[in-house]
Amino acid sequence: MFAFAKFYTLTLNKQNPAAMSHIKLLLLLASLSCLSLHCKKESELDKLPAATNYGAKTCGCLINGKAFRGDRYSKLFEGTYHDAMVEMEVELEDERIYFRTEGIITKAGDYFIPCYAPAKHLFVFVNTEEYYASDFNPTGYAFLRITRLDSLQHIIAGQFDFTLFNTSGTASVHVSNGRFDLRYAP
């Protein structure tokens, strides 16, 4: 292509110098547009694991817009399902997310879980600076969507979203775009 463009521009240069400047401008714009397609910056959402449902042992979410990604290579990755209870804990270097629901998850579907019952349901995020939990948000709800609950293959997968507050109620974290996929022990 470049050889043709060079030949074509040399030919145009001799015949019409104004047309030559238009061709150079078009070539420059085409080159810049090709470069911009290849320089796409990865978003925080792109850093999360895919929302799968085959027991991939993954968990990820955005915490105040920042990617939090756990998998089988994380410092700690535990998840279980039994007696209609889901429990998940993922710890990275200096952050940990944990949630537990008791007695309500019986099939795939959407669950709005009240935060005012910390003895039954608990959602927590801990980092080096602060402890955030659902029991400090007594009027809030957590959202949990179970996309697969397979008692034969022992797979549970889903999505989650919730807002947590610190002990004094003065700071919060929003956990969004959450997804998990795991195999649990029978």
Question: In degrees rounded to 5, what are phi and psi of residue 95?
Answer: -140, 150
Residue 37, pLDDT > 80, answer no
% pLDDT > 70, the chain: 77
Collapsing DSSP states into helix, strand and coil, what is residue 43?
A: coil
| CB of 148 closer than 8 Å to CB of 183 | no
- 52-98, pLDDT tens digit by residue? 999 999 999 999 999 999 887 888 888 999 999 999 999 998 999 99
Is 64 or 41 the better-scoring residue by pLDDT?
64
Burial 23-41 (b: 16+ CB within 10 A, else e): eeeeeeeeeeeeeeeeeee
- C-beta atoms surrounding 111 within 10 Å: 18
Burial of 50 (0-12, 13-18, 19+ CB in 10 A): exposed
∠ CA 84-85-89, nearest 5°, is 155
